[in-house]
Chains A and B, each alone.
Chain A
Amino acid sequence: MTAKPPKAEERKKRDTSFSLFFQSKNLYKIIGLLVIFVFFLLPVLRLVWLSFVDDGSLTMQYYTEVLREPATWKTVKNTLIVVLGSTILALVLGILFSWIVAYVQLSGKRAMQLFIFLPFVIPSYITTLAWTQFFSASGPVTAMLSWLPGDLQAPNLYSIGGIILLLGISHYPLVYLFTVNVFRKIPRELEEAAATSGLSKQRAFWKVVLPLALPGIASGGLIAFLSNLDNFGIPAFLGTPANIRVLSTYIYEQVVGFGPSAFSRAAVLSVILGVIALIGTVVQWFLLRRSRVNETNRSDSTPRIYLSASKQKLLEVSLWVFLLVTSLMPLITMGALSLISAYGVPFKLENLSLRNYEYVFLTDSKPLTALSNSLQLGFFTMLVCLVIGTAVAYLRFKYPDWSTRTAELFMTIPYALPGTVFALCMIFMWLEPIPGWNPGIYGTVWILFIAYVTRFLVLQVRGSYTAFLQIDPTMEEAARTSGAAGWVKWRRILLPLLFPGIVSGALLVFLMALTELTVSSLLWSSGSETVGVVIFGYEQAGYSTYSTAFSTVLVLGILFGGGLFMLLGRIWDRKVLKTK
């Protein structure tokens, strides 16, 4: 119902891209932008409007007030440090892992891939809890340091450094996901050519491989950047004790304040945050200018770098140590918590039971309902984003002019805003889209669906766009001159080449929608509970043992699903290779 307009719109758009795009090109542009404007920008503008209005008259007083306060600038400074630091960390880790997985001969790569995803799907309150216990005075790190000579202290996680570390570790899988396929598609002949021209391995990496991988790196980096910007859980948990505020937590503080100015001040801060997000997007465009498109290749998973047996072992061991600490440790912490009867009892056999699981899955009816709701919401969000997002990415790729760029900017904003703020925007917009008319979307599952699509579409756009960037435009022309037009062209030529990149985006949308928490906690309604809402509810009621039980099952389910997904990927590869 509500999702129909954009669908129809997309169909029109795609028709134009299939047929020759000349007659009413501008008209379509305007219509397309209008639809995007209504769905993506208008809700945000309603919030921005609040920052200019005081008792029904236009004013700039909120801006002058907020911008004069030293606290604002301190917060902005913290935000920039935290976001840049964690984005760089995520980029370094993500590129390193994707390069190793794509090129180096290692055993057990597939298991490794699954573990790389773990930090991303474990809820952030679990991640922070696990890490703070890991580094606490009674934790393993302190114990290990005490054996070492000298008076070494475990690092304090309640600090800017701690926030950067955990954000980076939580978001490097995003960079990995966007870059690994890109690395695989870089033809090995190029590297060989570089080698024969006398470039060292390192020089070749900087001169050849990295520029070719830029589309993926820029996309992944942007998404990681936005995710770091809007993350609330980690800075709230680690920043509160140290009095470190970032924009997302400061905005929340304003929203929960009292009085008529609460929302207006939050709106001003959201505008500042939005500006930072837009700057990030623009920086990413400049990066992409330097990227190069090469002749199209299918992805090539065979290793290109072989190490001596001992070196390979060493590399494998060090990678696994890293993965065990960053991925398995929080999972084990979570699993252990879910098996004990209460916080603080020693982890002994007599204290262990499956009581929490029994309660969550047998006594309480809500978690299972929530799981099925979230799966359905995730699935349909993924489907809609897959179609619309890929279409938008195609247009963005094919006609890189002002209109598609503007569209991309519009779509970035809903993802960059903190979840609480975005949910408020959704309420402003959809409660009465036209004053006095309530279409009955708000208060049903549809508002969640619209919110998820609006918020996560940019992930699919980035995923698909990265895939398109690696296709040589001549491919399409070649297809057309060989008589493959329209749907055939897509089915036989383009989709098989694009598939891995598009699926990465879709997978991301699905996982995000499945585990979404902050937006849902404001927009859910009776009967449309989501996984995040149930976990949040347990946490707030002090039933952490229940929430960990539920989260553990969820994460294990995602791992299992991931395993299946990889299996399908292998089958797909084989099938495509066969048809060749």
Chain B
Amino acid sequence: MKKIFFGSATLCLVTVLAACGGEGDSSYSNTSKEGDGVSGTLDFYTSQPDADAQGLVDAFKKQNPDVEISIFRSGTEEVVSKIQAENQGGNIQADVLLVADSVTFENFKAEELLLSYQSPEAEFIDEAFVDPDGTYAGTKIMATGMIINTNEVTNMPDSWSILTDAATKGQAVMPSPLYSGAAAYNLGVITRQDGLGWDFYEALRANDIMITQGNGAVLESVATGEKNYGMIVDFLAARAKNDGSPVELIYPKEGVPVITEPVGILANTENEEASKAFVDFILSEEGQKLASEQGYTPIREGIDAPEGLKTLEEMTVLNADATELLETRNDDKAEFGKIFGE
């Protein structure tokens, strides 16, 4: 096996370069629908899991076979710093951006890097999740709930207060807002709620909650029984449960912070037409059904959530103003760092 690869490795790099240009395995033969005539190339930067981003692009290309889309996928933080670096370097390459949370988009909006586009499809989306200036719109609903290890815990809690209960001292885990944009968003939202606020975080600290790098690490920790309770983004917990991990997903009754994986178009896009068509597709009924099939709660009204997740109507959403969250983001992080003892 190895030998075969080495054989191929001795082929000149030029072949790699050639392979870079096009994806050799896409056939355009069976396009049943008439596309709306957009063409050209698109650079799509996203933090969605690879398979989901690929599925989205493939579905779009079925309708618009003349568009070539190249995907760059990485963590939200990596995607954002890449765009910032491109901006410093003189020319942003991305056309369409889809990353975790609205505050990130508010940040780009403040720097005037986003194009304003009122998609007709956005009418079917709760206006709380759409930027009134049209620079971004949510594409799905991702709540942060609680994940519980069912081997260790028999009584399922229904409130965030279990995490601050002295009986669970040292048994809980949460992602660090210092590394994860989504966790920083949650921090901003929760600290602005009556009944939770900074007191909640101070109580978490007093209860010895473990801070870990990201949602993936929270899942590992709770599923393996290292800890029994965790704060986690809902679809990860639901999927692990479906795969057979001994975990349960809980939507606490006080409500849940929600990130919406918004999509936006970069102001200096070289292909405005195709970018707009792509955004329309993501927000359209078909695009939203696809999101549901991929295991996410859709954001558009009238489309069912997948097995194990709640729809928007079934959950209490904790909200906060995105522009305000942006202004206080760095202070919130610093305050968090203070509480958790730097």
Contacts and interface: CB of A to CB of B under 8 A. Distances in A.
Interface of A: 50, 71, 74, 129, 132-133, 136-138, 158, 236-237, 240-241, 243, 245, 252-253, 255-260, 262-263, 341-345, 351, 364-366, 371-373, 375-380, 420, 424, 427-429, 431-432, 435-436, 438, 442-446, 449, 521-522, 524-528, 533-534, 536-545, 557, 560-561, 564
Given A344-B247, A427-B85, 7 more contacts: A243-B341, A258-B326, A263-B84, A521-B78, A526-B20, A527-B20, A543-B49
A380 B13 contact: yes
A420 to B, nearest CB: 7
Contacts, number: 206
Given A252-B179, A427-B82, A343 B224 contact: yes
B84 A537 contact: no
B90 A436 contact: yes
Q: Which of B71, B85, B247 has the most CB of A within 10 A?
A: B85
Given A376-B13, A431-B86, A560 B51 contact: no
B61 interface: no
B141 to A, nearest CB: 17
Given A252-B179, A372-B8, A542 B223 contact: no
Contact of A256 (B19, B103, B181): B181
Contact of B211 (A241, A256, A527): A241
Contacts of B11: 376
Contact of A544 (B17, B220, B246): B220
A537 B49 CA distance: 6
Contacts of B192: none
Contact of B75 (A137, A259, A446, A521): A521
Which residue, of B17, B243, B326, has the highest number of chain A Cβ atoms within 10 A?
Answer: B243
Contacts of A341: 243-244
A429 B89 CA distance: 7
A445 B17 contact: yes
Nearest to B88: A428
A364 B219 contact: no
Contact of B8 (A133, A236, A376, A538): A376
B77 interface: yes
A550 to B, nearest CB: 12
A530 to B, nearest CB: 11
Contacts of A256: 77, 80-81, 179, 181
A428 B215 CA distance: 30
B223 A444 contact: no
Contacts of B104: 258
A538 B339 CA distance: 32
A557 B222 CA distance: 32
Contact of A345 (B82, B244, B329): B244
A427 B86 contact: yes
A51 B20 CA distance: 35
Contacts of B91: 431-432, 438
Nearest to B22: A527
Contacts of A243: 211, 340-342
A424 B81 contact: yes
A104 to B, nearest CB: 32
Interface string B216-259: 11011011111000000000100110011111000000000000
B85 A342 contact: no
Contact count band on B:
35 or more
Residue in B151, B213, B337, B341 whose Cβ sees the most chain A Cβ within 10 Å:
B213
B223 A343 contact: yes
17 contacts: A237-B213, A241-B211, A243-B342, A259-B330, A263-B88, A342-B245, A372-B5, A424-B85, A428-B85, A431-B85, A431-B91, A443-B93, A526-B70, A537-B49, A539-B216, A542-B216, A542-B239
Nearest to A245: B342
B269 interface: no
Contact of B223 (A241, A342, A539, A564): A342
A244 B85 CA distance: 28
A561 B2 contact: yes
Contacts of B215: 542
A343 to B, nearest CB: 4
A344 B225 contact: yes
Interface in B305-333: 326, 329-330, 333
Centre residue among B8, B20, B239, B246 by max chain A CB count within 10 A: B20
Nearest to B80: A256
A79 to B, nearest CB: 14
A71 B178 CA distance: 14
Given A375-B8, A542-B236, A522 B78 contact: yes
Given A138-B225, A365-B25, A240 B82 contact: no
A536 B243 CA distance: 20
B212 A241 contact: yes
A255 B81 contact: yes
A371 B2 CA distance: 10
A240 to B, nearest CB: 5
Contacts of B64: none
A78 B243 CA distance: 40
A541 B179 contact: no
A257 B330 contact: yes
A93 B178 CA distance: 34
B171 to A, nearest CB: 11
B91 to A, nearest CB: 6
B107 interface: yes
A262 B84 contact: yes
Nearest to A443: B93
A237 B211 CA distance: 10
Contacts of A132: 226
A216 B238 CA distance: 52
B50 interface: yes
A337 B103 CA distance: 36
A344 B11 CA distance: 43
Interface string B70-102: 111111011011101110111101000000000
A522 B220 contact: no
A375 B5 contact: yes
Contacts of B107: 258-259
A129 B224 CA distance: 11
A53 to B, nearest CB: 10
B9 interface: yes
A233 to B, nearest CB: 9
A538 B74 CA distance: 11
Which of A129, A136, A259, A557 has its CB near the most chain B CB atoms (within 10 A)?
A259
A538 B247 CA distance: 20
Interface in B106-160: 107, 111, 149, 151
A253 B179 contact: yes
B186 interface: no
